[in-house]
């Protein structure tokens, strides 16, 4: 019987050990912190720059993954003791980051969408005193502290194919001449008379929900997105009578009328909508400067630009001439599981991107990213990015309201916008959907 | 070590089943219990401070209209799929055991779709519905195919059913072949001598004797249809306009996209009890229908 009991004890303890490692949680956290404290003390007594440090970087911009890997090779050549491992993720960086935290192995550097940084604010290292924080074109603070490194500035509006539009207007085209919904409709008619489809609306829920609909949040009279969203949450907003909302949908109705895929709007995928504009089959589509990668697949040499989406017929309305611009991808440094040496290495890498000429080259020239930093004088190569920089520098920008919404906004209200696209619901019902969604957010 | 017989038996049993028990405990039981634990808190998956909310999550799950719409949609999907899968599988099984030429090739062909994983299957069929059928429909003017099925709510539902039937009919067919072959020939012989037509033989002799196979196939197809996620995701992503969000996808979105783990897990439990209840009831009733030869 003794041996029977012994066997039982062995089996149960093996099971419990396995379960214990699966649960992780607070116990392993505190051991990691104490060992981190010990190793950082050791690092300080010995020469810190000589210690080999390995950090991980969660990259959510798949289209520039190769450029990031190349950049890290250059960085590691200059800093031989720092190795950076890149993890790439596609659709939802938040899900990947959460699962990394749950398994106890978070990435040292995490690149997330701006709206998601809020969720990780107690796990992000305070970067307010970093050198680059002083060079930010716009402050990037949560609760008064800079918790994330703005990686990419992006903007969206109506992308247009310069050669197609110039042929339609018979000369050079100035986007600022489109300052009302009526002017846009006029332009569409001119384009249609040359035999080209004026616009090809992409039916993607993320585009219609988080970008197009969000313009209604960003073009309110005082440009205060949070105040407007608070109004939506408390039910005091009366969206159906809101002038910016109605003006935006007036423009959308015009776009629907001249939509290339008017017979089957839901069949238009991202690739199709961009490809049509790149090849000149359509003159415009609603999307952002990140679409340049897709455009260059069919038309590497073409020139493109942005027309702002008009939200009224009032020619003096500043919002009609402004492009939504914001720092969409941001990187935060994990302070929960990363040792001090790892955090220092991560901060060094971020400094390198902003201040080292090789880093700036990677950011702007290789990856075609618009930087958020005043000290970087380089300009991205492609015409869309250049257009965004122009709008931004001229102060003709409105908030990137997609950064202020919860994680499922694009899924839920994107679906509602799709229903509006195919005329399944009308404006009043869409307004009810939007208000119902926000009122359910606690 | 000289162990007494009882202990030796136990050691043998533990040696063979131990690894499986440990795997089952750690992959299924522990997350299940952790899930019960989570339902009592309001957690978004990231925060370290998690407030205790007791049964609020369950109350919210029960009052969530969208969830019950999704469950009702799933029930309709299950009814359609289970009926069609089993009928088609039985038809295939009957065809393949009826002695026609090349029946082994048919067997292999019917079974192959089951070997393709759900995600790949969904993407292949998405291409079929969005591009292939549409171009065929436009070329030959077949009205029903000229617009993509995945853009219309009702047709997208049936697209899901069709893909599920295509995936599972082969698997169920294999199970039914085993059942069909085991129908005793002498009973069929006796029925033929008594003047029964092929049709009557089928209805009154073959089908009742195949009930054990039906128990298995109906159970499997019920359970798989209720819990479907991969085909749902790959084929429609819950579209158009979120009209084909089946129960598993709804729970996944609630927990991992909306980041409300407590309510998501509570809804997952409701789904679990629903499926468990239905399948146990189904096995119980069909077992009562079993007959001896």
Over the stretch A293-306, which tens digit does the pLDDT of each residue have?
889 889 988 899 99
A398 and A322 co-located in one domain: yes
Question: What is the structure's pLDDT at A90?
Answer: 73
Q: Name the nearest CA neighbour of A377 among A392, A387, A394, A365.
A: A365
Q: Which two tokens stand for residue B221?
A: 């197809």
A70 and A205 co-located in one domain: no
A361 and A410 co-located in one domain: no
Across the strands, what pairs with A399?
A: A325
User: Across residues A411-419, what is the average pLDDT?
Assistant: 91
A178 and A119 co-located in one domain: no
Interchain pair A102, B45: CB under 8 A: yes
Question: What is the structure's pLDDT at B77?
Answer: 96
> What is residue A126's DSSP assignment?
P
A162 and A40 co-located in one domain: no
A283 and A432 co-located in one domain: yes
- pLDDT band (50, 70, 90) for residue A26: very low
B108 and chain A in contact, CB less than 8 A: no
Residue A49 has pLDDT above 80, yes or no: no
Task: ipTM value, please give it.
Answer: 0.71
B19 and chain A in contact, CB less than 8 A: no
- Residue A371 located in a structural domain: no
Over the stretch A284-332, which tens digit does the pLDDT of each residue have?
999 999 888 889 889 988 899 999 999 998 888 888 999 999 888 999 9
Is residue A48 packed enough to be buried (19+ CB in 10 Å), middle (13-18) or exposed (0-12)? middle
Question: What is the structure's pLDDT at A47?
Answer: 42
Number of H helices and E strands in chain B, helices first, is: 15, 0
Which residue of A6, A9, A12, A15 is the best one to mutate when testing the B interface, meaning the one whose CB has the most B CBs within 10 A? A15
Low-confidence ranges of chain B (pLDDT < 70): 1-3, 293
Question: What is the structure's pLDDT at A19?
Answer: 62
Is there a contact between A309 and A301 (Cβ–Cβ < 8 Å)? no
Question: What is the structure's pLDDT at A13?
Answer: 74
User: Across residues A86-106, what is the average pLDDT?
Assistant: 86
Question: What is the structure's pLDDT at A30?
Answer: 37
Average pLDDT of chain A to the nearest whole number: 85
Question: What is the structure's pLDDT at B29?
Answer: 95
Residue A254 has pLDDT above 90, yes or no: yes
A11 and chain B in contact, CB less than 8 A: yes
> What is the span of the domain harbouring residue A110?
18-153+327-366
What percentage of chain B carries pLDDT values higher than 70? 98
Alpha carbon A404 to chain centroid, angstroms: 11
User: Number of structural domains, chain A?
Assistant: 2
Q: Which residues contact A64 (CB under 8 A, 6 or more apart)?
A: A366, A367, A369
A165 and A248 co-located in one domain: yes
Over the stretch B170-186, which tens digit does the pLDDT of each residue have?
999 999 999 999 999 89
Minimal CA separation from B251 to chain A, in Å: 13
The 10 Å Cβ neighbour count of residue A213 is: 26
Helices (H), A325-422: 340-355, 357-360, 383-393, 409-421
A99 and A160 co-located in one domain: no
User: Across residues A167-172, what is the average pLDDT?
Assistant: 90
Q: Which residue has the higher pLDDT, A274 or A103?
A: A274
A306 and A350 co-located in one domain: no
Over the stretch B219-260, which tens digit does the pLDDT of each residue have?
999 999 999 999 999 998 887 888 899 999 999 988 888 888
A116 and A189 co-located in one domain: no
Over the stretch A358-380, which tens digit does the pLDDT of each residue have?
999 988 888 888 888 888 888 88
The ranges assigned to domains in chain B are 1-38, 55-288
Which residue of A98, A107, A410 is the best one to mutate when testing the B interface, meaning the one whose CB has the most B CBs within 10 A? A98
Residues B159, B162, B166, B167, CA torsion sign: positive
> Which CATH architecture best describes the domain B55-288?
Orthogonal Bundle (1.10)
Contacts 24+ apart (CB under 8 A), B207-212: B208/B289, B208/B291, B209/B179, B209/B182, B209/B183, B209/B184, B209/B291, B209/B293, B210/B176, B210/B179, B210/B180, B210/B183, B211/B286, B211/B289, B211/B290, B211/B291, B212/B179, B212/B290
CA dist B126 and B156 (Å) reads 10
Is residue A301 packed enough to be buried (19+ CB in 10 Å), middle (13-18) or exposed (0-12)? exposed
CA dist A259 and A241 (Å) reads 26
Residue A91 has pLDDT above 80, yes or no: no
A258 and A336 co-located in one domain: no
pTM: predicted TM-score of the whole model, two decimal places: 0.79
- Residue A6 located in a structural domain: no
Interchain pair B256, A95: CB under 8 A: yes
Helix (H, G, I), strand (E, B) or coil at A112: strand
CA dist B233 and B228 (Å) reads 9
> For residue A440, which residues of chain B lie inside 8 Å, CB to CB?
none
């Amino acid at each position: 019987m003794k041996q029977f009991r012994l066997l039982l004890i062995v089996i149960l303890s093996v099971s419990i050990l396995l379960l214990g490692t699966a649960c992780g949680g607070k116990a392993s956290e505190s051991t990691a912190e104490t060992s981190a404290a010990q190793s950082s003390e050791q690092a300080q007594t010995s020469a810190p720059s000589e210690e080999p440090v390995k950090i991980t970087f969660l990259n959510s911009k798949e289209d520039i993954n190769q450029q990031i890997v190349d950049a890290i090779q250059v960085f590691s050549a200059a800093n031989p003791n720092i190795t950076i491992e890149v993890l790439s993720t596609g659709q939802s960086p938040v899900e990947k980051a959460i699962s990394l935290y749950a398994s106890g192995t978070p990435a040292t550097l995490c690149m997330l969408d701006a709206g998601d940084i809020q969720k990780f604010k107690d796990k992000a290292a305070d970067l307010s005193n970093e050198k680059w924080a002083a060079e930010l074109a716009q402050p990037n603070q949560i609760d008064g502290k800079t918790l994330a490194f703005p990686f990419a500035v992006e903007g969206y509006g109506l992308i247009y194919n310069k050669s197609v539009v110039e042929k339609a207007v018979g000369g050079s085209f100035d986007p600022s001449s489109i300052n009302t919904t009526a002017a846009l409709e006029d332009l569409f008619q001119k384009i249609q008379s040359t035999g080209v489809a004026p616009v090809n609306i992409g039916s993607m829920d993320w585009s219609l929900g988080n970008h197009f609909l969000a313009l209604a949040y960003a073009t309110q009279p005082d440009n205060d997105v949070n105040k407007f969203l608070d109004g939506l949450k408390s039910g005091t907003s009366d969206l159906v009578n809101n002038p910016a909302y109605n003006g935006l949908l007036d423009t959308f109705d015009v776009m629907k009328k001249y939509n290339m895929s008017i017979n089957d709007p839901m069949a238009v995928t991202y690739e199709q909508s961009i490809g049509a504009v790149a090849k000149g089959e359509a003159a415009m589509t609603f999307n952002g400067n990140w679409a340049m990668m897709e455009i260059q697949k069919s038309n590497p040499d073409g020139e493109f630009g942005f027309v702002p989406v008009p939200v009224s017929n009032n020619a003096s309305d500043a919002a009609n001439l402004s492009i939504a611009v914001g720092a969409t991808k941001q990187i935060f440094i994990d302070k929960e599981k990363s040792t001090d040496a790892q955090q220092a290495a991560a901060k060094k890498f971020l400094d390198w991107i902003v201040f080292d000429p090789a880093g700036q080259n990677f950011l702007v020239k290789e990856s075609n990213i618009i930087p958020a930093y005043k000290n970087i004088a380089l300009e991205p190569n492609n015409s869309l990015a250049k257009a965004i920089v122009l709008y931004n520098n001229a102060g003709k920008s409105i908030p990137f309201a997609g950064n202020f919404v919860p994680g499922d906004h694009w899924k839920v209200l994107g679906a509602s916008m799709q229903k509006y696209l195919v005329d399944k619901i009308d404006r009043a019902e869409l307004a009810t959907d939007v208000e119902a969604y926000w009122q359910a957010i606690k | 070590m000289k162990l007494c017989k009882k202990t030796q038996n136990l050691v043998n049993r533990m040696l063979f089943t131990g690894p499986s028990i440990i795997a089952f405990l750690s992959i299924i039981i522990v997350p299940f219990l952790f899930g019960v634990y989570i339902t009592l808190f309001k957690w978004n998956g990231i925060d370290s401070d998690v407030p205790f909310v007791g049964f609020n999550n369950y109350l919210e799950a029960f009052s969530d209209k969208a969830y019950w719409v999704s469950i009702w949609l799933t029930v309709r999907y299950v009814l359609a799929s289970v009926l069609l899968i089993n009928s088609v599988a039985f038809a295939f099984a009957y065809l393949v055991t009826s002695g026609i030429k090349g029946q082994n090739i048919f067997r292999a062909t019917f079974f192959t779709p089951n070997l393709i994983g759900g995600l790949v299957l969904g993407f292949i069929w998405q291409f079929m519905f969005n591009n292939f059928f549409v171009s065929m429909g436009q070329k030959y003017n077949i009205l029903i195919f000229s617009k993509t099925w995945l853009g219309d709510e009702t047709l997208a539902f049936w697209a899901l059913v069709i893909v599920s039937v295509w995936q599972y009919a082969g698997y169920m067919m294999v199970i039914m072949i085993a059942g069909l072959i085991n129908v005793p020939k002498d009973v069929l012989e006796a029925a033929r001598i008594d003047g029964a037509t092929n049709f009557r033989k089928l209805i009154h002799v073959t089908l009742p004797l195949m009930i054990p196979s039906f128990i298995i196939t109906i159970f499997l197809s019920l359970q798989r249809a209720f819990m479907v996620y991969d085909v749902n995701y790959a084929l429609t992503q819950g579209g158009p306009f979120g009209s084909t969000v089946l129960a598993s996808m709804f729970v996944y979105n609630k927990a991992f996209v909306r980041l409300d783990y407590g309510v998501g897990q509570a809804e997952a439990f409701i789904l679990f009890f629903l499926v468990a209840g239905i399948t146990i009831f189904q096995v119980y009733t069909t077992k009562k229908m079993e007959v001896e030869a």
